[in-house]
Amino acid sequence: MDRSERKLERARELLDGGEPSLAELAAAVGISASYLQRRFTARYGLSPAEYLAQRKLGTLKSALREGNDVSAALYDAGYGSPSRVYEAGAARLGMTPARYRAGGAGEAIRWSLIDTALGRVLIATTQRGICMIELGDDDGELEARLHTEFPKAQLQRVDAGRDEFLGPRVRAVADALAGRRAEVPVDLLGTAFQKRVWDALMRIPKGETRSYAEVAASLGAPRATRAVASACSHNRMAIVVPCHRVVRGDGSLGGYRWGLPLKERLLERERAA
């Protein structure tokens, strides 16, 4: 590790231990604020301010999962008032802190299992949009994955998507999985950086691919290749958020949550179209 990298690592340690401003952080490690901002973002995929926000949010989420009082968890995580997390953090949680702590309690999610061009698929949606598209061969395992993601949400199964709310969304997903043009409303539940990656993936045209490094560079974070790969691996939205269009720098397929044979099949189908 060279001297510059040690300074960046020291800056990260200071952010882990407190809430210094960019100017304070730059003075502490002995480099200019603009240089620190640029190099820190390139190395970690987040600006110092974004890194601090993610650390605070991570602390809050851990405390809520452990069942701590919401107000105490907010202040322990470093939020000056409850309104701060509801203004800035609730969107990243995908639901309010109280509901997140309760495993999604109070969140209404409709879901269905259907046959598609790619086999059995579980589709789940909130009022805001599709929150999960999971592929698999075993209905019981697919349902178990849903319960793992949202253990205490109000889960309502709708057979074959047969209601006025879920039906059109199921049909849109089925079209998308078959390779047809479809408008699928989504509710992406993840960290701020994960959402940036997923948004970038949805801008990759059909029939084209990008390397993990190219996606990172498009986000202004060229050294965040591993973070991009991690965001791809945490994608719950098969096909609609097209992580299958991301490959290694040498053109090889890399990984895929739903298996490399399917990834290869999807890419071939899109290129042919």
**Active site residue ranges:** 243
Rg of the chain over all Cα atoms, to the nearest angstrom: 20
CB 116 within 8 Å of CB 94: no
Cα–chain-centroid distance for residue 240?
13
- How is residue 45 annotated by DSSP? S
Burial per residue of 215-239, b for 16 or more beta-carbon CB atoms within 10 angstroms, e otherwise: bbbbbebebbbebbbebbeebbbbb
- How is residue 89 annotated by DSSP? I
* Lookup: tokens for 32: 């200019």
Contacts 24+ apart (CB under 8 A), 89-92: 89/53, 89/56, 89/57, 89/60, 92/57, 92/190, 92/191, 92/192, 92/195
Length of the chain: 273
